[in-house]
Amino acid sequence: MVHVKSLKVKLLRDWSCMKKFIWHDEAGDDYFRLLDYVAVFAGTRFVPKNHNQKRMLPFWKVYRWMCYYHSIYVIMNAFAHLDRRNNFSEFSWFVMIALEVVMGHVKDLIVARNSEKIQDAQNFINKRMTIVSDEVFEPGTRKTFFRKVQIMCGATGMVALNMILMMTIPNKQIDELFALPSWIAFSSVLSYIFKFTISPPWPCKIICGTVLLTSILEGFKTELLVFANDLGNTVDRARPTVFQQFPDSETYQRKDSEEVVFKNLQQHIPQKIMRHIELLEKIQDFKPLVELFFFVLYFHAMALIGTYIFVILQTDFSIGSAMILMALTAYFAKCYFWCWVISSFQEVNELIALNIMQLITAIPHPAEHHLKYIELRTMLMIMMIRTQSSAQFSCGGLSIISVELFGNLLNVSYSVITFLLNII
């Protein structure tokens, strides 16, 4: 009895520590540390950063080899059931599962090929997060960003957990769809291993790349918001001097005040501009990866969503149908969230452009510093133009990523469903 009680206390303590680590802890010096644990369960590229993560390497290797096994199994299963083309819904299922596996590895490859760029972006954001100029606004904004990363990682874990629970429920449809023909040696054993090891690796693998890149985009957006707030504070400090009314007898006092503000702006604005240019350059370097990954995600979802809905309509509702619905929900959420995040960049850049314009009107204009005044205004105008043109991300160069593009995805998915229903 005492042993059971001590074990219970230990489990509760471990659960409390894990809950604190995942949800309640502050970000510290790494806002992306939870993504490393998602990468472990996904069996995707993983480079340990500390001793605790090194202890996860054996699990990562196991999950990585499990993903290879699942891939071979799915391809074998697809080839073994090519004779089911007379049953179009089952044939579509096998094709989509094989496509899911292939696209999972394609996304893995994209992330692995751009690992240095991803790590550089994460290091840049972590470094910027340590610079605080507004003790009220910036800590809260950055804490909100870390909470978003926590929510995305937690949602990934919940999807994996739900799939584990669903696969443990006996279901004839799932058993038939994932069963190899009896003429393949140890087919029942292979099927059993596949069924009970497919989660957590594959739910995490399918979602991992999207969560990783979305987190970095949110980090960039957070830093743009911080910069917009910094500019707004600069405008607020400069405005009273420009618009303050001085009596004629205090003309010299007004000139002295303008002189102090102008010299202060002349000293700090170039620093702010260089800091903002550095951020914009990092976003521009990261943009090709975002556009490529979204292109793959978007057109994969375009084919997958309509086909999965078609399969649900053509089969009896079961646990397998619930799993497909969960996958559809994940794809809808991923595509919409990416479209929304990228669209929100434009809103933040418009706020920055507005603050720049207000700062231009708030700069004092001492007659003896006319040339320097023109130079300062010109610098701000160039920064405003560059900011406005930096927010557009394209989907493979075909169209601009926006919420409207998500609406187009829904229309195409509906067209795919009607096409498949018409050909059976």
Spell out the per-residue pLDDT of the chain, length 424, in tens.
Answer: 555 556 555 656 655 655 555 565 666 678 888 888 888 888 888 888 878 778 888 888 888 888 888 888 888 777 777 766 566 777 777 778 888 888 888 888 998 899 889 999 999 998 888 777 777 787 888 888 888 888 888 888 888 888 888 777 777 777 766 766 666 656 677 777 777 777 778 888 888 888 899 999 999 999 999 888 888 887 777 665 544 444 544 544 455 566 777 777 777 788 888 888 888 889 889 888 988 888 888 888 888 887 778 777 777 777 777 777 877 888 888 888 888 888 888 888 888 888 888 888 877 766 776 787 788 888 888 888 888 777 677 777 777 777 778 788 788 877 877 877 777 6
Residue ranges in 201-318 assigned as alpha helix (H): 201-243, 251-314
pLDDT at res. 298 = 84
Residue 355 · residue 232 · CB < 8 Å: yes
DSSP 63-98: HHHHHHHHHHHHHHHHHHTGGGGGSHHHHHHHHHHH
pLDDT at res. 246 = 45
State residue 32 phi and psi, 5-degree precision: -115, 15
pLDDT at res. 142 = 85
Residue ranges in 363-402 assigned as alpha helix (H): 370-388
State residue 41 phi and psi, 5-degree precision: -70, -25
pLDDT at res. 85 = 57
pLDDT at res. 418 = 82
Question: What is the pTM for the complete model shown?
Answer: 0.85
State residue 394 phi and psi, 5-degree precision: -110, 155
Q: Which residues pair with 400 in a beta bridge?
A: 394
pLDDT at res. 133 = 76
- Give the relative orientation of helices 187-197 and 57-80 as an angle to the nearest 10 degrees: 130
Helix, strand, coil content of the chain in percent (nearest 5): 85, 0, 15
Q: Give one word for 396, left, alpha or beta, with left for phi > 0 and alpha for psi -120 to 50.
A: left
Alpha-carbon gap, residue 193 to 180, rounded angstroms: 12
What burial letters (b/e) apply to 77-106, b meaning 16+ CB within 10 Å? Answer: bbebbeeeeeeebbbbbbebbbbbbebbee
Contacts of 44-49 with C-beta under 8 Å, sequence gap 24+, read 44/108, 44/111, 44/112, 44/205, 44/208, 44/209, 45/108, 45/111, 45/112, 45/115, 47/115, 47/119
DSSP state of 394: B
pLDDT at res. 83 = 66
Alpha-carbon gap, residue 360 to 381, rounded angstroms: 8
Q: Which residues pair with 394 in a beta bridge?
A: 400
pLDDT at res. 141 = 85
pLDDT at res. 252 = 45
pLDDT at res. 243 = 44
- Give the relative orientation of helices 88-113 and 251-314 as an angle to the nearest 10 degrees: 150
Express each pLDDT in 164-199 by its tens digit: 887 777 777 777 667 666 666 566 777 777 777 777
Alpha-carbon Rg of the chain, whole angstroms?
A: 27
| Structure-derived torsion over alpha carbons of residues 363, 365, 366, 372, reported in degrees to the nearest 10 | 80
